[in-house]
A = this chain, B = another copy of it.
């Protein structure tokens, strides 16, 4: 990993020569940087984009290319979902939990439909159909899926449920790569100048504002003058163990970082000139336990044999709550009506079986009357369509009473718990980086996972929320920088 231990602002007065001159300099070429570039170019600004890797992509290209959009899209209406801006915004706020940025939720709630049209205008294709069921990503080229906790408590009581995950038309998983390709092509067509293998190491300040960046190219410092502003779009800090230890130590419970060199450099650059890094303890994690889909009907218990969540909510919310449990593992309970051999990639193993839940309990070395009592209560009420403990909803709420039974182990260390960080720079809805007093830092903008945005709270994350944040607030940052 490149050393980011010397991040300090560089005084403009010490710049030996300006190697590049532009209006807007963008650091990082994932979906955020691409959207910022498109908007800045559209506004008429000269744009230079610097990416440390050898091509575009970032964490965005590793994603499913799913964007969280609501308020009544064509795909929602065609499938009979009457989503509203109010319900959509209410859901976004709930999903932000104690870390919510209400202004961002409100702005995106109002403008998401326009944003969806904008994505289409850039050339992002959507088939427009709805794929029912529980899916992590469509395996065909479908558009609309349930990608969060919309239909689950407590969300469903405060915001009328609708599916809002909109996936680029692309057969199979991995729609993030073609999404970034389209945005990259658009940014290039509009005249964005792109330098790869170019790593930002400092912001340049002239006392009054950020006026450029020092970029390391071919082992040489290159000085970039950006007369209008610098946009940070560098992603989170999931690959920076020192930062995780200081700000997000609970993330060490899980094991599989997702990202592309996300070492927190954008956060460090922003803080080096007075930016405010907030909610740095928050992270997303998920283990793909809803595959095969019948497993979505299972019940989770911790090592004390207790349920801890309504299992019908988003797989990542269940996973995040699982990681809160003591003992380094949780169990997914299934009956023969629902059990299928788990996916190899998930690293989920069979920990116990039995012809009764009492036998499973014994195989797991749990005290008599723990797991078995949990399942007795669960099944009794599930038969009546109720979950008095966690308010799980029908039809995912269903009795698990067809023997034999199985307990699958999700082990935080050895099962596949992918994760990335959610904390970062505090920004305005225009993408301005704010200082600790809430004032914009002149000339500095940021968006995506180097900021704290729509996906602010690990326990409320829903699929598509980070790309929604990256693309929409990347655009705002690009517009504001070019203004």
Which A residues have a C-beta under 8 Å from some C-beta of B? 5-7, 97-99, 246-247, 249-250, 252, 268, 271-272, 276, 278-281, 304-307, 324, 366-370, 373, 376-377, 380-381, 388-390, 426, 436-438
Closest to A100 in B: B249
**Is B369's CB under 8 angstroms from A373's CB?**
yes
Per DSSP, chain A at the interface is loop
Copies in the complex: 2
Question: Which of the residues B99, B281, B369, B389 comes within 8 Å of A370, measured between beta carbons?
Answer: B389
**Is A437's CB under 8 angstroms from B7's CB?**
yes
A459 to nearest B CB, angstroms?
Answer: 11
Query: Known interface pairs A280-B280, A426-B246. Does A377 touch B369 (Cβ–Cβ under 8 Å)?
Result: yes
Query: Known interface pairs A7-B437, A436-B7, A437-B5. Does A389 touch B304 (Cβ–Cβ under 8 Å)?
Result: yes
The 9 closest A-B pairs by CB, nearest first: A98-B249, A373-B373, A367-B388, A281-B281, A304-B389, A246-B278, A369-B377, A306-B306, A5-B437
Cα of A304 to Cα of B324 in the assembled complex, Å: 17
Cα of A250 to Cα of B457 in the assembled complex, Å: 11
**Is A249's CB under 8 angstroms from B99's CB?**
yes
**Is B376's CB under 8 angstroms from A389's CB?**
no
A377 to nearest B CB, angstroms?
Answer: 5
Cα of A373 to Cα of B305 in the assembled complex, Å: 12
Question: Which of the residues B268, B369, B437 comes within 8 Å of A380, measured between beta carbons?
Answer: B369
**Is A278's CB under 8 angstroms from B389's CB?**
no
Q: Which residues on the B side are within 8 Å of A307 (C-beta)?
A: 304, 306
11 more CB-based (< 8 A) A-B contacts, given A5-B438, A369-B373: A6-B437, A7-B437, A271-B436, A279-B281, A281-B281, A304-B306, A324-B324, A367-B377, A369-B377, A370-B377, A373-B373
**Is B271's CB under 8 angstroms from A304's CB?**
no
Q: Which residues on the B side are within 8 Å of A436 (C-beta)?
A: 7, 268, 271-272
**Is A98's CB under 8 angstroms from B250's CB?**
yes
Q: Which residues on the B side are within 8 Å of A268 (C-beta)?
A: 436
Q: Which residues on the B side are within 8 Å of A437 (C-beta)?
A: 5-7
Question: Which of the residues B366, B377, B381, B390 comes within 8 Å of A373, measured between beta carbons?
Answer: B377
Q: Which residues on the B side are within 8 Å of A250 (C-beta)?
A: 98
Cα of A389 to Cα of B304 in the assembled complex, Å: 5
**Is B390's CB under 8 angstroms from A367's CB?**
no
Q: Which residues on the B side are within 8 Å of A5 (C-beta)?
A: 437-438
A328 to nearest B CB, angstroms?
Answer: 12
Q: Which residues on the B side are within 8 Å of A389 (C-beta)?
A: 304-305, 367, 370
A144 to nearest B CB, angstroms?
Answer: 30
Closest to A376 in B: B369
Cα of A51 to Cα of B192 in the assembled complex, Å: 55
Between A366, A376, A437, the greatest number of chain B beta carbons within 10 A of the residue's beta carbon is seen for A437
